[in-house]
Amino acid sequence: MKPIVLALAALVAPAALAADQPAVDPARVEATVKAAFRSAPPDWQPRLIPDETLKECSATDNSPTAAQFEAIQKREAATIRYPDDGNFVGDWKKGERLAQSGYGLRFTDYPPRNPNGGNCFACHQMTRQEVSYGTIGPSLLGYGKARGTAPEALKTVYEKIYNPHATFACSLMPRFGTNKVLTVEQIKDLVALLMDPASPVNQ
Ligand code: HEC
């Protein structure tokens, strides 16, 4: 009988321990994270403090209530700035280089010697030529071919890259425009990469 009792005790013990643990103190977590990145450059420091959106997404394990979902998207959409000339499409060749480039925001990139890249291939398949890509995001092969080049379609992609949280509250994709990782011109080049019928994405 004894071994069975011991085995049961082993099953019960971890649950009891977990209940005894204090709740995670967010202020302590923030302070610890900040202390770990003491030498972070000034423009990087604010990234250590989660904003309202990231806090809500973390607290709900990326499953906010319907009301939170709507509120997050509304707040994030309000941060989107549009091109002055109303044109959403740049140069797909520049866009392809940006999508390939992971330059920027790393500690070794200070002081900046090159424009930031988008690192899109880290999460997306985009062209048939590039065989090294991540799969956190959906494949974007043929993205423009499937959507056409109507102004509304171009605007939607621009908004997605500028701030993915505006259309998917707890997206795992970075807010490239809102967080000033990429400029309006760079985002236009990426729109071209995805939407231009001549781009390798649509071949
Ligand atoms: C850290 C991973 C990550 C990076 C880097 C990333 N994305 Fe995403 N992307 C995602 C995820 C996850 C989704 C799906 C969720 C969503 O729609 O927000 C997505 C969705 C998208 C969509 C919408 C797809 C659809 O179904 O309509 C587009 C367009 C897109 N990404 C473009 C880009 C571009 C361009 C870049 C580079 C500037 C980029 N992504 C960088 C993760 C990423």
Cα(186) to centroid(ligand 1), Å: 15
Q: Is the pLDDT at 26 greater than 70, yes or no? A: yes
User: Does 128 reside within a domain?
Assistant: yes
Find where tokens 């002055």 sit.
84
Minimal-distance CA residue to ligand 1 atom 29: 157
> Residue 49 falls within a domain, yes or no?
no
- Domain annotation covers residue 180: yes
Count of domains forming the chain: 1
Ligand 1, atom 24, lies closest to the CA of 138
Report residue 157's pLDDT band, with 50, 70 and 90 as the boundaries: very high
User: Is residue 122, in this structure, part of any structural domain at all?
Assistant: yes
pLDDT tens track for 92-129:
999 999 999 999 988 889 889 999 999 999 999 999 99
Q: Which residues contact ligand 1 via a Cβ below 6 A? A: 99, 118-120, 122-124, 136-138, 140, 157, 160-161, 164, 168, 171-174, 176, 190, 194
Which atom from ligand 1 is nearest to the alpha carbon of 190? 35
CA-187 nearest atom, ligand 1: 38
Q: Does residue 51 form part of some domain?
A: no
d(CA 186, CA 193): 11
Q: Residue 196 sits in which domain range?
A: 92-202
CA of 137 to the centre of ligand 1 (A): 5
Ligand 1 centre distance from Cα of residue 19 (Å): 38
pTM for this predicted structure? 0.88
| pLDDT (average), residues 170-181 | 97
Q: Is the pLDDT of residue 8 over 70?
A: no
* CATH assignment at residue 186: 1.10.760.10
Any domain includes 32: no
Q: Mean pLDDT of all residues in the chain?
A: 90
C-alpha 77/C-alpha 35 separation (Å) is 32
- Look at residue 187 and tell me if it is in a domain: yes
Q: Which of 93-101's residues contact partners 24+ apart within 8 Å by CB, and which partners?
A: 94/186, 94/189, 94/192, 95/189, 95/190, 95/191, 95/192, 95/193, 95/194, 95/199, 96/127, 96/193, 96/199, 96/200, 98/182, 98/186, 98/189, 98/190, 98/193, 99/126, 99/190, 99/193, 100/130
Pocket test for ligand 1, best of 121, 124, 185 (most atoms within 8 A of CB): 124
Residue 50 identity (one-letter amino acid) = P
114 is a domain residue: yes
